Amino acid sequence: PADAEAPLGLRFPDGFVWGAATSAYQIEGATKEDGRGESVWDTFSHTPGRIKGGDTGDVAADHYHRYAGDLDLMRDLGLRSYRFSIAWPRIQADGAGAPNQRGLDFYRRLVAGLHERGIAPMATLFHWDLPQALQDAGGWESRDVALRFADYADAVFTALGDDVPVWLTINEPKTVVQNGYLQGHHAPGRQDPEAAHLVAHHLQLAHGLAVQALRSRGGPGRIGPAFNLHPCYPADSSPAAAAATTLYDGYENRFYLDSVLTGRYPADVLDDLGPDSRLARGIRDGDLDIIATPVDLLAVQYYTPIYVTAAGGTVTRWPTSQADWQQIHPDGLYDILTRVTRDYGPLPISITENGLPTTDALGPDDTVDDAGRVTFLRDHIAAAHRAIADGVPLESFHVWSLMDNFEWAEGYDQRWGLIHVDYPTQRRILKRSAHWYRSVIADNAV
Ligand code: GBH
């Protein structure tokens, strides 16, 4: 084997769960079928100039039609867990009212197919595809959308609650806040800091209400939030850089972690936003109690660290990937896992996303040589192993992503999959990294 595949001799605890992740809009396609309504991502991707190459999720990896073959590929890899998301507009076309049976049936078939193959389903309730009708009614700026989310969650729990052992509420609330409402690179494409932090609160509230909905059903599933965490490091040793890094960490990490796990928003972030911010005015008595409803696990998604300058900006310190925002720094995963355990206590943690985009192409004899992905994953898995050795209660590791898919504003240009998707034919080809990951799972070791 090439260097990247040479075993490091790091065995994981018995029962450690190896998986891979996807999300609905990024793979399903079939956006007009079986009563699905429109989402903000249909609107956004069909707005000229928003997505590289004018790509949309209309077809994506056509998983809605090809899920059975995709399930067989998951079994062939030996996955123990598959993380997917449920498209809210398939369940409630307009974001309210009686659930759409045909939409629920798709996820029932998917979940049944996972169980048949011995793969545990891990379902995310919301991976950014808000029903457009709810956006038209104010979107996440409207507190009412959090209440609508609780109804939607309840309908999903009623249909699937007995068959899904792990639920995740909202995928990366921070990305909706930062990319949807600050930078505008994601749906709904806004650049409005005041709106952004109110949106953050309503996303957190929606999370808490969904946890309560699961608890009140009394079903067997566990539930938690899915946060993309960024270890923040000062770019120099000045006190100003240290202070800027602390505040940066407040916006990136503590805002989300503290509210769910301690029932408070961090004082430094609230101070920074000021007493008259839309966030400050939007927090009602009792909201933080809802947000802090006890969870069963924390889902951590790690891609990159952030280096913060004394002026509060950021700099690049490490090699970047094809995604210019991603610096490759495996120790950052160790740092964020150990820090979360130190600061918030020994809550079970699942890594629900970690991965790298590569420019690999389909080679001769149907091979895809993505050696860079093998090295990246091996080094991050080794960092996770070190965190376990130092006491982090880590249960699982999920690669982002099972297969190439619609990478949001980057369209199909960035390929994040273990499995190559030849979009013109929708053929799936296992990359070198997929073969390697199969042996990691079989050995329970890197
Ligand atoms: C995750 O986000 C997502 O959960 C997943 O859907 C996605 O496919 C995967 O990572 C890979 O990106 O355009 O410069 O403003 C990771 C966090 C937030 C990182 C948005 C990229 C856009 C940077 N992402 N961000 S920029």
**pLDDT value, residue 276:** 97
Span 95-130, pLDDT tens digits: 999 999 999 999 999 999 999 999 999 999 999 999
Q: Considering the chain, what is the average pLDDT of its residues?
A: 97
Task: Report d(CA 361, CA 94) in Å as an integer.
Answer: 39
Q: For residues 189-215, b (16+ Cβ closer than 10 Å) or e, as one string?
A: bbeeeebbbbbbbbbbbbbbbbbbbbe
Please compute Rg for the chain using Cα positions.
21
The CA angle 396-397-402, to the nearest 5 degrees, is 130
Percent of the chain beyond pLDDT 90?
97
Q: Is the CB of 187 under 6 A from ligand 1?
A: no
Task: Give residue 341 CA to ligand 1 midpoint distance, Å.
Answer: 24
Cβ pair 387, 334 in contact under 8 A: yes
| HEC letters along the chain | CCHHHCCCCCECCCCCEEEEECCHHHHCCCCCCCCCCCEHHHHHHCCCCCCHHHCCCCCCCCHHHHHHHHHHHHHHHCCCEEEEECCHHHHCCCCCCCCCHHHHHHHHHHHHHHHHCCCEEEEEEECCCCEHHHHHCCHHHCHHHHHHHHHHHHHHHHHHCCCCCEEEEEECHHHHHHHHHHCCCCCCCCCCHHHHHHHHHHHHHHHHHHHHHHHHHCCCCEEEEEEECCCEEECCCCHHHHHHHHHHHHHHHHHHHHHHHHCCCCHHHHHHHCCCCHHHHHCCCCHHHHHCCCCCCEEEECCCCEEECCCCCEECCCCECCCCCCECCCHHHHHHHHHHHHHHCCCCEEEEECCCCECCCCCHHHCCCCHHHHHHHHHHHHHHHHHHHCCCCEEEEEEECCECCCCHHHCCCCECCCEEEECCCCEEEECHHHHHHHHHHHHCEC
Task: Report d(CA 157, CA 164) in Å as an integer.
Answer: 9
Cβ pair 62, 72 in contact under 8 A: no
Task: Give residue 412 CA to ligand 1 midpoint distance, Å.
Answer: 13
Q: Is the CB of 172 under 6 A from ligand 1?
A: yes
How confident is the model over 13-39, as a mean pLDDT? 99
pLDDT band at 376 (very low <50, low <70, confident <90, very high): very high
How confident is the model over 391-398, as a mean pLDDT? 98
Cβ pair 361, 406 in contact under 8 A: no
Task: Report d(CA 135, CA 187) in Å as an integer.
Answer: 10
**pLDDT value, residue 364:** 86
What sign has the CA pseudo-torsion 238, 242, 248, 249? positive
| Total length of the chain | 446
pLDDT of 416 > 80? The answer is yes
pLDDT of 377 > 70? The answer is yes
Nearest atom within ligand 1 for CA of residue 410: 13
Q: Is the CB of 325 under 6 A from ligand 1?
A: yes
**Ligand 1 pocket mutation, candidates 185, 256, 320, 325, criterion most atoms within 8 A of CB:** 325
Task: Report d(CA 358, CA 97) in Å as an integer.
Answer: 42
Span 49-61, pLDDT tens digits: 999 999 999 999 9
User: C-alpha distances in angstroms, 98 versus 130, 170, 399?
Assistant: 17, 21, 34
Cβ pair 155, 92 in contact under 8 A: yes
pLDDT band at 218 (very low <50, low <70, confident <90, very high): confident
Span 299-352, pLDDT tens digits: 999 999 999 999 999 999 999 999 999 999 999 999 999 999 999 999 999 999
How confident is the model over 81-89, as a mean pLDDT? 99
Task: Report d(CA 45, CA 56) in Å as an integer.
Answer: 5
Q: Is the CB of 28 under 6 A from ligand 1?
A: no
Nearest atom within ligand 1 for CA of residue 400: 9
pLDDT of 3 > 80? The answer is no
Task: Report d(CA 315, CA 378) in Å as an integer.
Answer: 26
How confident is the model over 256-262, as a mean pLDDT? 99
State the catalytic residues.
172, 353
How confident is the model over 211-223, as a mean pLDDT? 94
**pLDDT value, residue 1:** 47
Q: What is the pTM of this model?
A: 0.98
Q: What is the helix (H) or strand (E) element at residue 63, kind and residue range?
A: helix 63-77
